[in-house]
Structures are given as C-alpha cells and as structure tokens.
Amino acid sequence: MRRAAAKIRAEFPDTRYNLAMTNHDLLRRLQDAPFQPFRIRLSNGSAIDIRDAGSVIVGDSSAVVPLETVTDDRGYRIVRDWKTISISHIVEFIDLKERDSGPRRKRA
C-alpha cells in the first residue's frame, strides 16, 4: 500500500491526495455540527466508539480515546478506561445508529 501511495503522490504532486488518516481528519469529524457519534476502526481490526466529542484528546500523531465511560450520581460522564491510539492506524470512521447505544470495548 505504501508503494501505491508513493506512486499516486509521484503522479499527482500538486494534489493533497493521501491514503493515511491525519489528525485534521479526526478533528473535523469531532467538530461536525451537530456531533454524530461514530466508530473508529483501526488497522488491527479493533473498533472504538466515540459518543462524546469532548472526551477525545487529539495530538499531532496520536489521540487519547475513551474505552469505558460511566455517569456519576451527579450526571457527569466519567472516563474509567482510555487508550492512546496512533492516528496513522485509523482506517475509517463509521456512523453509529441510535440502536448502537451500549458501550463497546476494543475487540481483541
């Protein structure tokens, strides 16, 4: 796949065509208005559901994403478990439907 990407970049140097996900792709998805919960699918086949845009911390090459959240007795969402992922390993974003309301953990 890297050869294909290099070939495309060599053939079209003036375009911004890029096969890898960037931090700006993730930031744009998090800042969509109105926010739509989505699933991040990673290159190893695992998936992480993002239900709240404010719970993700995005860096240049990585992001901290919640794996498990709970609501405390005052109604605040608390992250109990999180994971740092490499943005270059994000394969796609998948919209979550209303019926996908349960927590989803990383698949092994």
In a domain, 57, yes or no: yes
Q: Which of 23-27, 55-59, 72-76, 100-104 has the lowest mean pLDDT?
A: 100-104
In a domain, 64, yes or no: yes
In a domain, 103, yes or no: no
- How many CB atoms sit inside 10 A of residue 8's CB? 14
Q: Which residue range forms the structural domain that includes residue 86?
A: 21-95
User: Which pLDDT score is estimated for 20?
Assistant: 81
In a domain, 6, yes or no: no
pLDDT band at 87 (very low <50, low <70, confident <90, very high): very high
User: Which pLDDT score is estimated for 28?
Assistant: 95
In a domain, 11, yes or no: no
Mean pLDDT, all residues of the chain: 83
CATH code at position 52: 2.30.30
In a domain, 7, yes or no: no
Q: How many domains does the chain have?
A: 1
Residues 6+ apart with CB under 8 A from 38: 29, 49, 50, 93, 94, 95, 96
What is the distance between the alpha carbons of residues 99 and 20, in angstroms, rounded to a whole number?
30
- The model's pTM: 0.70
List 42's β-bridge partners, or say none: 90
Q: How does pLDDT run across 30-54, given as a tens digit for each residue?
A: 999 999 999 999 999 999 999 999 9
